[in-house]
Amino acid sequence: MSFLSRVLPALALMASAWAASPPAPFGAVPAGRQVEWQRMEYYAFVHFGLNTWTDREWGYGDEDPKLFNPSSFDARVIVRQFKEAGMTGVVLTAKHHDGFCLWPTKTTDRNISKSAWQGGKGDLVRDFAQACKAEGMKFGVYVSPWDRSQPEYGREGYVKVFHEQIREVLGNYGPVFEIWFDGANGGDGWYGGAKETRKIPPNYYDFPKIVEMVRRLQPQCVVWGGGESGDARWGGSEQGHVGYPHWATLDSKRGGSGAIGFAHGDRWVPAEGDTSIRHGWFWHQREDSQVKSPDKLLQVWFDCVGRGANLILNVPPNRTGQLSAPDIASLNGFRELREIMLSKDFARGAKAAASFRGSDAKFAPGNLTDGNIDSYWTVDDGNNAPSVEIRFAAPATFDVIRLREQIRLGQRVEGFALDAWQGDDWKEIHKGSTIGNQVLARLSSSCTTDRLRLRITASPAVPCISELAVFRAPVMMVAPSITRDAAGKLSISVQGAGTIRYTTDGSDPSAASTEYREPVVFPSGGTVKARIVAGDKLGPIATRALGMVKTGWKVVSATAGDARNAMDENPKTLWQTHPTSGELPPPQGFVIDLGAEVRIAGFSYLPRQDGIAHGMTDRYRFEVSRDGQTWSLAAEGEFSNIKANPIEQIVPLQAPVSARYFRFTGLHAVEKNHVTAAEVGVIAAP
């Protein structure tokens, strides 16, 4: 035996005396597929299908498959655009509520092989899957459980069809990173011609069985939704943001909300915030001018990814099968803002000083600033409120601090504070609660210092922190906000230097457009566009479609409730048809005298904005009259998806009609058994 072979084991033995073991996991921990998924942070949603042609948000289930016919679709181009925007994957609506399948399924004739596109030989699931593979992006699918086309929906027969559809998309197209099981179910539908409302029994879809199949076919696939069996949850609104404090856990007994989760719950079910770059999920031409601006997207990102959730951003292709130019411009502007901010981490490589677990270098505070989110800093058991000091080589000016916990060991931290060394003392610059997957702490004002301290103030077990990074938020031009009061005065406001320029003819404001100085009277309504102009720089455009002003309006009658609340331009006051107690079931409505004859091009319904869905109506009737006696039907239909996405609904009439009176009727309520409205408006023909 050589000298070395005798000495080395002895040395190894000595070294192991210093090697500390990692802290035991705390509470619920993520599965490997969830860790991988949480690192994806930001990816695309693609709503594409018959609705793109019928101009609807929810198809009824009877639309002709032939309608689907994009003129110049190329999945590769779209996937590349998402990749260039900094996204990590794409989730395609392989089947939406109308039951039309974007792949040649064997389960139903309502599929792409019956469309006019590519002579029925096309397969969009295949195209997206292949494009993602080629571009190094991940591919996911949305397969709607609610199917308004299927005759057997609500009965056993459909469940088999649904399971088989999932098997086809998961079994035939390569790796799928996420499958989306939408909980939406508006009840009514075509259902093979039955045209009725169908309620489903609890556990109807049999998610435990579905999840078993997902695990078998795609072990790395994250199940979004899917009741108790799912891996990821809805972030709680269709605006993309999630709540704070923010937990990746829910609790099997005590529940928890989508937005916040449940502190130290027993199931790891991280949130995904979903929103569309436009108002609706499918492409509608009228929304081409209502694309979220880069600053708005950055705000959503801070309130979603910056709280530890994933952001799925919908960018719907238009009828050519391509993304629209304003959407691409906004995606790229948003990417630039993130890049400006994230490209310089002032703490990268900075020295960090703190006690650490077993004095083992594996757990040293340098792990916070090494750019590797697998390594982490932790301390000896029992020390649940440690602090660490970061020293920058030179003073840095910053206003955003990113922290991450090592989530493989569970989400622990409940409270933290950040201090900056100012002059000769520490000054607290931020207080936060949860960290989890990540938190982007925004300071109320920027801070310049060469010493930063992180104090963990509350944690039920030793904290395991894998990153502390320090950034400067980008200086950006933001889109103005446009409001109008009950008297019809238009106000435009914005933070930032430059002049506000605006138009009311639908054109994009330029340096030559009217300058906004003070509120202006704007009674007839129309489309207002505004932006900041500073030298040769043009800020993002804000667009607002306003109906005619309601000053001369009178309530003629109402089946119940105070209809003046629906015409006072105050979304906080409600027309509601139930008195103090009990319910007054729909239909419920009111008649308005506009004061003079108007050429009506459409109407708007703003559902209540207080976060409560009671009495929100998802089916309407809009009638008009010249004399208040003889009525004609101007529009009747559905406000699809209004419960999850309670934005203003604008309904253009087939053709403008002249009338002095209108009657609005809510025909059905999404919750409870009465009808409410925050505002109802009229769009006058130009």
Binding stretches for ligand FUL (CB under 6 A):
57-58, 182, 184, 274, 281, 641, 644
CB of 237 to ligand FUL, least distance (A): 11
CB of 494 to ligand FUL, least distance (A): 30
CB of 274 to ligand FUL, least distance (A): 5
CB of 191 to ligand FUL, least distance (A): 17
271 within 8 A of 309, measured Cβ to Cβ: yes
Strand (E) or helix (H) holding 635:
strand 632-638
Minimal CB distance residue for ligand FUL:
184
Q: Is 360 exposed, middle or buried (0-12, 13-18, 19+ CB in 10 A)?
A: middle
285 within 8 A of 212, measured Cβ to Cβ: no
Residue number, 137 or 312, with CB nearest to ligand FUL: 312
CB of 644 to ligand FUL, least distance (A): 5
Tell how far CA 172 is from the center of its chain: 29
Residue number, 187 or 587, with CB nearest to ligand FUL: 187
Name the residue among 599, 618, 607 with its Cα closest to residue 683: 599
CB of 199 to ligand FUL, least distance (A): 17
Residue number, 398 or 639, with CB nearest to ligand FUL: 639
Residue number, 95 or 531, with CB nearest to ligand FUL: 95
DSSP-derived secondary structure for 477-530: ----EEEE-TT-EEEEE-SSSSEEEEESSSSPP-TTSEEP-S-EE--S-EEEEE
Q: Which long-range contacts (CB under 8 A, 24 or more apart) does 548-551 make?
A: 548/523, 548/524, 548/594, 548/598, 548/681, 548/682, 548/683, 548/684, 549/484, 549/487, 549/488, 549/522, 549/523, 549/524, 549/525, 550/486, 550/681, 551/486, 551/487, 551/488, 551/523
Give strand ranges (E) for 2-57.
42-46
Going by their DSSP bridges, the two strands 249-250 and 267-268 should be labelled as antiparallel
Q: Which long-range contacts (CB under 8 A, 24 or more apart) does 200-207 make?
A: 200/154, 203/227, 204/154, 204/159, 205/145, 205/159, 205/162, 205/181, 206/159, 206/163, 207/181
Residue number, 58 or 603, with CB nearest to ligand FUL: 58
CB of 356 to ligand FUL, least distance (A): 44
Residue number, 241 or 501, with CB nearest to ligand FUL: 241
CB of 198 to ligand FUL, least distance (A): 16
CB of 332 to ligand FUL, least distance (A): 23
Residue number, 116 or 644, with CB nearest to ligand FUL: 644
Instruction: List beta partners, residue 623.
Output: 633, 663
Give strand ranges (E) for 406-498.
415-422, 425-432, 439-458, 464-471, 481-484, 489-493
Residue number, 148 or 338, with CB nearest to ligand FUL: 148
CB of 79 to ligand FUL, least distance (A): 20
Report the greatest alpha carbon distance in the chain: 111
And the tokens for 451? Answer: 């010493």
Residue number, 281 or 301, with CB nearest to ligand FUL: 281
Instruction: List beta partners, residue 595.
Output: none
Residue number, 37 or 45, with CB nearest to ligand FUL: 45
The contacts of residue 444 (CB under 8 Å, 6+ apart) are: 430
Going by their DSSP bridges, the two strands 138-143 and 526-534 should be labelled as unpaired
CB of 564 to ligand FUL, least distance (A): 33
As a whole number of angstroms, the distance between CA 32 and CA 158 comes to 33
As a whole number of angstroms, the distance between CA 397 and CA 667 comes to 57
Q: How many helices (H) and strands (E) does the chain have?
A: 9, 35
Residue number, 452 or 670, with CB nearest to ligand FUL: 670
Residue number, 378 or 641, with CB nearest to ligand FUL: 641
Going by their DSSP bridges, the two strands 617-625 and 649-669 should be labelled as antiparallel
- For the chain, how are helix, strand and coil distributed in percent, rounded to 5? 20, 35, 45
CB of 236 to ligand FUL, least distance (A): 12
Residue number, 81 or 641, with CB nearest to ligand FUL: 641
CB of 365 to ligand FUL, least distance (A): 42
Reduce the DSSP state of residue 558 to 3 states and report it.
strand
